[in-house]
């Protein structure tokens, strides 16, 4: 457990965050953009749990933050998928470039 | 190098490798499956840190819930065998540069920071401790956020039904 320094876990979570950012920048399909957001939220969860484990073992606050983030991410994914299905019904496409009615 | 370290580096390689594949592969269904492996790897990392409860929550909610939801929405909206259009080369180039610089900058900041651990007596993250804290209203109790999140989940559930419901054309 303590043979791995905290820095290595932070390296993994930072790398995962920026992998999610890369997907968010390059993808133009709403479902894959949603997957990138899930990766970003998960990297934050790793951070919270690792800080709780390494720096504040006398508290459980990081664990509760991670649990609430998971709950909110589940609600967000459900609403996003309802919006995606509705968008597909009206536009027959889930590419963000095709949904430009509010753009101008 | 002990077995513990080897397990950590294997899990990290699984998380990062399948994460990279999830954002770069051209087939959307494969992308969802790589995301699934990445989330399982993160759950393994929580198990490795001895946080059993949150690892179980991660598997139940993400792997059993969100990824299945994403796969269903892929089946409802796409031909899952089709290739997605390749992103424009300029966009790939500049996103890669932005991500690399952002990563280097952030990691440099983390590397310079000296973390100081608290040395109080540790609290076992067991399920009974988590339950007492989660529904406790005293010191370090989380009953108010718990109730707020339950209202949020109710609102999200009603919102999903309202957004995705199919309005019949004959009823005006």
Q: Clarify whether residues B80 and B132 are in a common domain.
A: no
Q: Quick one: pLDDT band at residue A24, thresholds 50, 70, 90?
A: very high
The per-residue pLDDT for range B14-32, each reduced to its tens digit, is 999 999 999 999 888 899 9
- Taking an 8 Å cut-off on Cβ atoms, the answer to whether B159 and A86 are in contact is no
- φ/ψ region of A68 (left if φ > 0, alpha if ψ in -120 to 50, else beta) reads alpha
Residue B167 has pLDDT above 70, yes or no: yes
Report the pLDDT averaged over residues A20-44: 92
Mean pLDDT of B36-42: 95
Mean local confidence (pLDDT), A83-95: 85
Q: Which two tokens stand for residue B18?
A: 């399948």
Q: Is A91 on the interface with B (CB under 8 A)?
A: no
Say if residue B8 is in the same domain as residue B72.
Answer: yes
Residue count of chain B, please give it: 172
pLDDT band at B45 (very low <50, low <70, confident <90, very high): very high
Question: Does residue B53 surpass a pLDDT of 80?
Answer: yes
CA-based nearest distance A104→chain B, Å: 23
Q: How many CB pairs under 8 A join A and B?
A: 214
Q: How many domains does chain B have?
A: 2
Tell me, yes or no, whether B14 and B71 share the same domain: yes
DSSP state of A100: -
Chain B residue whose CA is closest to A54: B117
**Per-residue pLDDT tens over the stretch B79-115:** 666 777 777 888 899 999 999 999 999 999 999 988 8
- Does residue B166 sit within a domain? yes
DSSP secondary-structure letter at B27?
A: B
Q: Is the pLDDT of residue A1 over 60?
A: no
Q: Is residue B101 part of a domain?
A: no
Checking if the pLDDT of B141 tops 60, the result is: yes
Q: What is the DSSP letter of B119?
A: -
Top residue of A25, A34, A72 to mutate, by most chain B CBs within 10 Å, is: A25
For residue B100, being part of any structural domain is answered with: no
Q: What is the CATH number of the domain that holds B48?
A: 1.20.120.1200
Closest Cβ–Cβ partner in A14, A29, A57 for B103: A14
Q: Does B110 reside within a domain?
A: no
Distance, CA of B33 to CA of B143 (rounded, Å)? 36
Which structural domain, as residue segments, surrounds residue B169? 123-172
Same domain? For B3 and B61 the reply is yes
- The contacts of residue B130 (CB under 8 Å, 6+ apart) are A60, A63, A64, B53
Percentage with pLDDT > 70 across chain B: 95
pLDDT at position A73 is 92
CA–CA distance, B21 with B160 (Å, rounded to integer): 30
* Mean pLDDT, residues A35-40: 93
Q: How high is the pLDDT of residue B68?
A: 92
What is the pLDDT averaged over residues B74-78?
A: 84
Give the mean pLDDT of chain B: 88
Q: What angle do CA B4, B5, B7 make, to 5 degrees?
A: 65
Q: Are residues B79 and B145 part of one domain?
A: no
Interface of A with B in 25-84 (CB under 8 A): 25-29, 31-32, 34-36, 38-39, 42, 45-46, 49-50, 52-61, 63-64, 66-68, 70-79, 81-84
Q: At residue A57, what are phi and psi to the nearest 5 degrees?
A: -70, -5
Say whether pLDDT at B156 is over 60. Answer: yes
Residue where one domain finishes, among candidates B37, B71, B89: B89
For A4-25, what is the mean pLDDT?
92
Read off the pTM.
Answer: 0.90
What is the per-residue DSSP string for A20-35? HHHHHHH--BHHHHHH
- The DSSP secondary-structure symbol of B149 reads H
The structural domains of chain A, ordered by start, are 6-93 (1.10.287.3510)
Q: Do A70 and B121 touch (CB under 8 A)?
A: no
- Tell which of B47, B63, B89 closes a domain: B89
Give the residue on B whose Cα is nearest the Cα of A21: B99
Please give the pLDDT value at position B13: 95
- The more confidently predicted of residues A65 and B138 is A65
The complex's ipTM works out to: 0.91
Partners of B98 on chain A (C-beta within 8 Å) are 21, 25
Give the whole-angstrom CA distance, residue B66 versus residue B54. Answer: 16
Quick check: B150 pLDDT over 80?
A: yes
Per the listing, tokens 């993250």 go with B125
Q: Are B28 and B84 in contact (CB under 8 A)?
A: yes
DSSP per-residue letters across B74-116? HHHHS-TTSBPPPPPHHHHHHHHHHHHHHHHHHHHHHHH----
CA dihedral B9, B14, B19, B20 (to 10 degrees): 80
The helix/strand/coil state of B143 is: helix
Asked if B121 and A58 touch (Cβ cutoff 8 Å), the reply is yes
C-alpha triplet B126, B40, B38: angle, nearest 5°: 135
């Amino acid at each position: 457990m303590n043979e791995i320094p905290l820095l290595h876990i932070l390296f993994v979570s930072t790398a995962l965050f920026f992998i999610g950012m890369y997907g968010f920048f390059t993808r133009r399909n709403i479902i894959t953009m949603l997957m990138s957001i899930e990766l970003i939220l998960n990297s934050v969860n790793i951070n919270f749990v690792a800080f709780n484990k390494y720096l504040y073992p006398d508290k459980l606050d990081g664990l509760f933050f991670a649990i609430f983030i998971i709950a909110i991410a589940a609600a967000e994914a459900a609403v996003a998928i309802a919006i995606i299905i509705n968008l597909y019904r009206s536009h027959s496409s889930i590419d963000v470039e095709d949904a430009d009615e509010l753009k101008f | 190098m002990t077995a513990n370290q080897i397990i950590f580096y294997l899990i990290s390689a699984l998380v990062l490798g399948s994460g990279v594949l999830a954002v770069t592969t051209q087939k959307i269904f494969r992308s969802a499956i790589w995301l699934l492996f990445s989330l399982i790897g993160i759950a393994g990392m929580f198990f490795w840190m001895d946080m059993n409860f949150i690892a179980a929550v991660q598997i139940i909610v993400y792997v059993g819930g969100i990824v299945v939801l994403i796969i269903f929405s892929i089946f409802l909206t796409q031909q899952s065998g089709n290739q997605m259009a390749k992103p424009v080369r300029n966009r790939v180039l500049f996103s890669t540069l932005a991500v690399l610089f952002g990563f280097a900058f952030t990691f440099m900041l983390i590397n310079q920071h000296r973390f100081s651990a608290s040395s109080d007596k540790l609290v076992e993250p067991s399920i009974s401790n988590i339950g007492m804290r989660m529904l406790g209203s005293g010191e370090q109790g989380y009953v108010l956020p718990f109730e707020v999140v339950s209202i949020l989940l109710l609102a999200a559930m009603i919102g999903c039904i309202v957004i995705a419901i199919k309005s019949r054309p004959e009823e005006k």
